[in-house]
Amino acid sequence: MIEVRGLKKSIRNGNTTVEILKHIDLLIPAGQFVAIMGASGSGKSTLLGLLAGLDSPTEGEVLIDGTEISHLTEDELAEVRGRKLGFVFQSFQLIPTLTALENVLLPHELNGSGDGRAAASALLRSVGLADRMHHYPIQLSGGEQQRVALARAFVMQPPIIFADEPTGNLDSENGAHILDLLLQRNRASGATLVLVTHDAQVSSHADRRIVLRDGTIVEDQMQRPA
């Protein structure tokens, strides 16, 4: 489902080149739950952004379900992201002028066909927000906002879900709830789940744990049978 070949990412800082990712080779099969860990600055969020097509590598290739995305045009990349990928951010990234229902509907309106309102409403009910559909983000708690973000990521039923520290801004109770919802989606629909976290408790639920250090993979361990 996800294949990475010789991936490198560097940036220029004055006269200096900073290598963020040095050489990454990676294969993630369909349906696997992978936790990516590492200290701050190890490159884990950069790697996730490259896998999701939110950034371009300096060298190497990223293939999503057989499609090489690293050199697609923005329109082609938007098509892949819209239909194959769901993304959950640590900071929620909800649009403040849209209600919870409208935020969840947005990917469907951009990439789907027909009326997605029934599916969006059902997803909000499934994450426990039946009575909050018409509230704006400012009227929701942090845990509720993250549940809206999850429903938004799920609305197109993408085969791959990326999550960047989805529990990082939440208390332990809300964080556990968010993790449970992600696990349910992974197990019920067979969606591939790639999650960046610094929390060992969160990573313990993954099928596989990958640890980055200084832009390279230093550990790649199966925690459950393939």
Instruction: Give the pTM.
Output: 0.90
Q: What is the pLDDT of residue 188?
A: 86
Six-digit token pair at 44?
């884990």
CB 148 within 8 A of CB 133: no
pLDDT tens track for 175-186: 899 999 999 888
Q: What is the pLDDT of residue 49?
A: 92
Q: What is the pLDDT of residue 226?
A: 56
Q: Tell which CATH classification among 3.20.20.450, 3.40.50.300, 3.90.580.10, 3.40.1710.10 matches the domain 2-222.
A: 3.40.50.300
The residue ranges of the chain whose pLDDT is under 70 are: 112-113, 225-226
3-state helix, strand, coil in the chain (%, to 5): 35, 30, 35
Q: What is the pLDDT of residue 205?
A: 92
H or E element that contains 22: strand 16-28
- For the chain, what are the domain ranges? 2-222
Query: Which spans in the chain are helix H?
Result: 44-51, 74-84, 100-111, 117-126, 142-154, 172-189, 200-203
Report the length, in residues, of the chain: 226
Q: What is the pLDDT of residue 12?
A: 86
